[in-house]
């Protein structure tokens, strides 16, 4: 941008190489990724990017403007994949004033879905629902947007609406795994019948298997829940902390809630010890993969169950470390207070 001083005045001098401008844009976006751990540095880079866009909104080719915005959304997507929703949210909120006036409908829909995903990861489900629903008006026929709308309904417990929205997606694409996972969680039919109706490819998909495990847990079938979450974990190329955290909790709860478990009778055998150690490892990995305390707050039970596992293994110092972190992350949570 410094190489083109007249650009800051809203003029495009003849002979300007738009390819070079695009290269400058890409450099800024790469610096966004580089500074993703430093929120202040990230916001400074975003400010430069905004300056580049606002300098000549009517002069740049529409495709070039769209490219700038899309690359910013890609950075936010990557931050979400890295389990940094707080940074993704800060980036998106700073981008919105400049993106919104000139964005196309599909771009607005994508932006809103990214913003909703960041808020959902931070436990702000009602705000996420509103954004998912708002996205529909900007790109109502897009499969990803339709699936996101189903997610929004599910977040607020609107199971009937979620199932209807998921079925609309599946009518187009039966192998939309997100929609299948939503239908599993929102359908009123018995779980066995739901599983039987799934395409074979879905039963070994991480997202769908985790959804089945979640419903099995709700139904009180911890054994089935653990098996489905193990299926999800083995199929999960992204190493989702939510799958690890849920499976770790299920293993711990399966022992602490079972009157006949060697944990309850105070005689820890080798098999049980190995299972608890595995659970603690899963919970540790899940907690450590989320650096943002705001994102860990809705998942504070991972820390509490890790503390329980450490106590079972007679590691009091380690248990206290998890409890200390839980108190920092969610000091007002009743489950934390009563530990």
In tens, the pLDDT along 248-275 reads 999 999 998 888 788 877 788 899 999 9
pLDDT, residue 261, reads 80
Whole-prediction pTM value?
A: 0.80
pLDDT, residue 10, reads 38
295, 303 contact by CB (below 8 A): no
pLDDT, residue 99, reads 85
pLDDT, residue 166, reads 96
Residue 232 has pLDDT above 90, yes or no: yes
C-alpha angle 276-277-278 in degrees, rounded to nearest 5? 90
Residue 170 has pLDDT above 70, yes or no: yes
Q: Which of 282, 296, 333 is nearest to 121 (CA)?
A: 296
As a residue count, the chain comes to 339
DSSP codes, 115-184: HHHHHHHTT-HHHHHHHHHHHHTTSTT-HHHHHHHHHHHHHTT-HHHHHHHHHHHHHH-TT-HHHHHHHH
* Strand ranges in the chain using DSSP code E only, listed in sequence order: none
Query: Which residues have a Cβ under 8 Å from the Cβ of 302 and sit 6 or more positions away?
Result: 245, 248, 249, 283, 286, 287, 296
pLDDT, residue 5, reads 37
Residue 217 has pLDDT above 80, yes or no: yes
pLDDT, residue 79, reads 92
Compute the distance between CA of residue 228 and CA of residue 206 in angstroms, rounded to an integer. 9
Q: pLDDT digit string (tens) for 57-75?
A: 444 546 666 677 788 888 8
Residue 51 has pLDDT above 80, yes or no: no
Q: Which of 13, 19, 79 is nearest to 46 (CA)?
A: 79
pLDDT, residue 238, reads 80
**DSSP state, residue 210:** H
Residue 41 has pLDDT above 80, yes or no: no
């Amino acid at each position: 941008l410094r190489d083109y001083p007249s650009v800051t005045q809203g003029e495009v001098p003849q002979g300007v190489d738009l390819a070079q401008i695009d290269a400058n844009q890409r450099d800024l976006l790469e610096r966004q990724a580089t500074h993703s751990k430093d929120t202040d540095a990230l916001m400074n880079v975003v400010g430069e990017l905004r300056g580049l866009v606002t300098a000549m909104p009517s002069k740049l080719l529409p495709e070039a403007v769209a490219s700038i915005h899309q690359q910013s959304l890609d950075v936010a997507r990557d931050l979400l994949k890295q389990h940094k929703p707080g940074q993704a949210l800060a980036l998106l909120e700073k981008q919105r004033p400049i993106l919104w006036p000139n964005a196309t409908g599909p771009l607005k829909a994508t932006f809103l879905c990214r913003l909703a995903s960041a808020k959902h990861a931070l436990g702000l489900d009602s705000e996420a629902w509103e954004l998912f629903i708002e996205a529909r008006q900007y790109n109502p026929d897009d499969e990803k947007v339709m699936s996101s709308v189903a997610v929004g309904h599910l977040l607020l417990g609107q199971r009937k609406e979620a199932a209807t929205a998921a079925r609309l997606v599946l009518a187009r694409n039966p192998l939309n795994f997100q929609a299948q996972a939503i239908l599993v969680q929102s359908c009123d039919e018995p779980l066995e019948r739901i599983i039987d109706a799934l395409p074979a490819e879905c039963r070994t998909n991480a997202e769908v298997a985790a959804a089945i495990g979640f419903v099995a847990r709700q139904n009180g079938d911890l054994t089935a829940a653990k098996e489905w979450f193990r299926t999800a974990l083995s199929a999960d190329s992204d190493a989702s902390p939510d799958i690890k955290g849920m499976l770790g909790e299920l293993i711990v709860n399966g022992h602490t809630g079972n009157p006949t478990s060697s944990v309850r009778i105070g005689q820890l055998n080798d098999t049980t010890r190995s299972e608890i150690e595995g659970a603690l490892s899963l919970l540790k990995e899940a907690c450590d993969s989320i650096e943002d305390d705001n994102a860990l707050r809705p998942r504070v039970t991972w820390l509490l169950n890790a503390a329980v596992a450490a106590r079972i293994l007679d590691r009091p110092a380690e248990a206290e470390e998890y409890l200390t972190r839980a108190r920092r992350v969610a000091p007002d949570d009743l489950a934390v207070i009563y530990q």
